[in-house]
Structure 1
Amino acid sequence: MNKPAELAGVVEDQRFEQFFYDESTAKQLYQLVKLYERPLLMCNPTLAVLADRDNQEYKLLDRDTRFGFLEGYEEFSLTEPHLIKDYEFDSVFIDPPFTSITPEQVAKCLRSIAADGCPLWVAYNSRREEQLLSALNELDCPNLVPKWKLSYKEGVSESTQDAIWLYGPADLIAS
């Protein structure tokens, strides 16, 4: 296991597959976030830290209460989701754990929070792309396609990083 990375004073909790984007990936993804007025960031504290610094409106749903210092933080479990009543989001950016949460569980969670119908951006392991696209393209949102490779800080091995891609709406931003 690689040395855990740090984000805004919080050290990755690799037991829960928590990994933080490297600087270039964070900046690239944040440019997408800024295209929306009310993004929902699920398991995406790196993007939430950037949004918080810019005073961009956002909601971060994450299990890690150490991010409670962020303005838009709300404690959340992908396996026991609850409806988001106080925030009408116009997009979803999700970076779920790859091994402990299945694409089918992600789809079920997104359905339960009424995320159908809005643009969906997903960081996921391309080795399981078929399973991911099969599960998420059943949602009532734009069909997902691979966009570009993502990179994480030192907490993720190079061989794993080579397989992590951003998936997003087929009709938005080619690559």
Structure 2
Amino acid sequence: MATFLPPGIDSTNIVGFGTTGLVAVFPGTQKVIKFPHPEPDARARCEVEVEVYERLERSRKKESCSTILRYHGNSKYGITLEYAEIGSLREHLRTAGTPSTEFLLRWARQAAEALVFCYASAVLHGDINCSNFFLDGDQNLKLGDFAGSSIDNSPATICYSTTHQLPTLDSSSKSEDVIITKET
């Protein structure tokens, strides 16, 4: 089965891809749509991601958090999110080189704030790595890609990227999120 593009999106709008789906910029906006691959497993992970973003948005009403990608809703085509125009932290580090100490400290604080906010909302990310942190136009770090997350201690559908997996890891916990974050 081939992945189809939502209306108004063509291949020039695609800015990212992963195991769950593709991400494309809505032309003329500061929003992206993440739409799943057609496989049932990818669609199921997308449903988990919607549930996580909706929970985090409800939590934002009680406590402000700017370190998680903003959720703008979902449709039959996919999830609409804030556009982090610089892209993933991993890509940025590959192209821009070693960041200043100022940026490293800022990003460390922002990553910690994102994780604390998630844990307070009973969400465990499950795949913390530099590909799932994104930079906006002001180089602020934002956590995204919750397709493999655990909610209320449910089993995570993805247990960390293979390149970052601990040999003894067979489940997700806050400790593993912190260990993985430190190692990536």
TM bracket (short chain)? 0.3 to 0.5
**Bigger Rg, which one:** 2
More helix, by proportion: 2
* Structure with larger RCO (C-alpha < 8 A, sep 6+): 1
